[in-house]
Amino acid sequence: MEKLSGKKTAISVFISGRGSNLKSLIKFSKIKKSSFKIKLVVSNNKNAAGLKYAIKNRINFLVINYKNKSKAEKKILKTLKKKKIKLICLAGFMKILSKNFIKEFKFKIINIHPSLLPKYKGLNTHKRVLENNEKFTGCTVHFVTSRLDSGKIIFQRKMKILKNDTEQKLAKRLIKIENKIYPLAVKKILKFNL
Ligand code: GRF
């Protein structure tokens, strides 16, 4: 992966909602020694709460209408290229990227998922984890491939499930861990790819 002239790799973060992972990536990117800079935030949802972090931090953002997926992806790709983005971080982005899009950014798209992949791919992970009486859950940062939540794992962290845990309690505790590991995972892959 190429570096920007200022030595930092240009990355883009894709969101659809709250944006706590975006917030944490922004915070980390501002550390002097950080190896990346967020140059673009993409959202398919104009009401995504997370957009406020882009605004507050003066990061360019693109809100994209996904009614026509192929048109939407073309527009995103054009902007990513214009901004010389080298890595895409999906952070609660609720749209599935097409095979063609993924091909354009092969091994350069990563995602964070709230389970110990390969277990519990897809949605409603906390509900399913509790139903199955698991003792542990966790979160995973992985490469994005055309198979949902199935790409190579970059970083994973385990979390114990407590006796009185509910979906909400699990989500609340786990998101804090997610927010910690996502920047670390980005740092890790940039080190290996450079
Ligand atoms: C996180 O739980 C992430 O693992 C999942 O979507 C959620 C996004 O949260 N893919 P946020 O918008 O980053 O706060």
Residue nearest to atom 5 of ligand 1 (CA): 92
Q: For residue 14, how many other CB atoms are within 10 A of its CB?
A: 24
First to last CA, the chain: 5
- CB of residue 159 inside a 6 A radius of ligand 1: no
Is residue 16 in contact with ligand 1, taking CB distance under 6 Å? no
pLDDT in tens, the chain (194 residues): 655 545 899 999 999 999 999 999 999 999 988 999 999 999 999 999 999 999 999 999 999 999 999 999 999 999 999 999 999 999 999 999 999 999 999 999 999 999 999 999 999 999 999 999 999 999 999 999 999 999 999 999 999 999 999 999 999 999 999 999 999 999 999 987 64
Indicate the Cα dihedral angle 3, 188, 41, 55, nearest 10°: -100
E strands present in the chain: 9-15, 36-43, 61-63, 87-90, 109-113, 136-143, 153-160
Dist. CA 128 → ligand 1 center (Å): 17
Q: Are 37 and 9 in contact (CB under 8 A)?
A: yes
**pLDDT for res 67:** 96
Does ligand 1 come within 6 angstroms of the Cβ of 125? no
Token duo for residue 54: 């882009």
Residues with active-site annotation? 113
Q: Check: CB of residue 187 under 8 Å from CB of residue 29.
A: no
Provide CB contacts within 8 A for 66, sequence distance 6+.
44, 72, 95
What residues are paired with 90 via a beta bridge? 14, 111
Report the alpha-carbon angle 11-104-74, nearest 5. Answer: 85
Q: Does the beta carbon of 175 sit less than 6 angstroms from any atom of ligand 1?
A: yes
Mutate to test the pocket of ligand 1, among 178, 180, 186 (most ligand atoms within 8 A of CB): 178
Q: Which atom of ligand 1 is nearest to the CA of 91?
A: 13
Q: Is the Cβ atom of 178 under 6 angstroms away from ligand 1?
A: yes
Please report the pLDDT score of residue 41 as a whole number. Answer: 98
Give the predicted TM-score (pTM) of the model: 0.95
Task: Report which protein residue has its CA nearest ligand 1's atom 7.
Answer: 92
* Cβ–Cβ under 8 Å, residues 51 and 61: yes
